[in-house]
Amino acid sequence: MNHTDQQERAEGTMLTGEQMIEMYKWMVTVRHFDRRAVNLQRSGRIGTYAALEGQEAAQVGCGYALEKQDWLFPTYREHGVSMVHGVPMTTVFLYWNGRPEGCMAPEGVNVFPISVPIATQLPHAVGAAWASKLKGENSIAVGFVGDGGTSEGDFHEAMNFAGVMKLPVIIFCQNNGYAISVPLSKQTATETLAEKAAAYGVEGIRVDGQDAVAVHDAVKYAADKARRGEGPTFIEAVTYRYGSHTTADDHTRYRDVNEAEMWRTERDPIDRLKARILELGIWSEEQDQALWEEADKVVQKSIEEMQAMPPVDHNRIFDYSYAELPWHLKEQREEMRSLYGNGGAK
């Protein structure tokens, strides 16, 4: 297939060959970022980290289907989709390095700060979608959640309000089968999560979360529908995270290691998309090797930028909760200053 042919729609998808290559490049970069982040945590250079390896197709496929004006409301694991939407990799590293700068997307990049409490970001996403509808804007909101988050009250409230108000919002669930150590079968009696959407008058879609093209097309369909004023969509992307819930967890205590290995060897999202673009004749093994080498350079540059940041002023831990500090926190601040001074970390 020549370069001109790459601009044509690939069979069975809304994407062109060039667009599939771009998604593949993002997936490789995100995986390399994720592996390096785990290594950084193990060496003490960042804090507890929530890995995503295995979920690259769900995140990149989703992010690639959205428009710049759309709003993202992530959990603590949406590093991939956040970067696709414009959050610099260095900013993501800074978050896990424990720095306030890691919570701030650049001007014009519509990504809310990471949400660690489970599902609390979903009502926020629905609220943003309501604001967009009231203002007559062309933006939609996407609220991300894991399978465990669908057992939270915030999920119910968000879905119910989105359905009643017919809001331009997508609730995007990455179902990796476990909420930390709790398997899906112990969370819900339904066969799927997508079918829950019907109870709220919302369209539910279940998609193969290991297929980046399928995820893209499902999200693009839902986004286009939302922009036409036809209401919300709940998308269940069936995926699998190879490693532990976070670096503070040990998944081998509650998951069969053979299960994870099966997903890695037989259903890996990067291998699947690579096979597709190789079959189309628009990618080569030589290009693939060069891509991995380039991804290493990109990630290393961001790590160096993170490490070059000056020490954080430890007084900042008192800055973000009160307009005026109460007396007991003032005492704590003075005690800290007496021990460490009035500047950066000692």
Catalytic sites, residue numbers: 241, 245, 254
How far apart are the C-alpha atoms of 5 and 331, rounded to whole Å?
69
Question: What one-letter code names the amino acid at 151?
Answer: S
92 near 83, Cβ under 8 Å?
yes
Half-sphere exposure at residue 283, Cβ-oriented, CA atoms within 13 angstroms = 23
Say which residue the tokens 């610099």 belong to. 88
How far apart are the C-alpha atoms of 128 and 134, rounded to whole Å?
10
Buried b (16+ CB within 10 A) or exposed e, 209-226: bbbbbbbbbbbbbbbebb
Half-sphere exposure at residue 142, Cβ-oriented, CA atoms within 13 angstroms = 32
Residue 229 tokens read as 């004023």
Residue 77 tokens read as 């694991």
Length of the chain: 346
Q: Quote the Cα angle for 219-174-80, to 5°.
A: 75
How far apart are the C-alpha atoms of 15 and 42, rounded to whole Å?
38
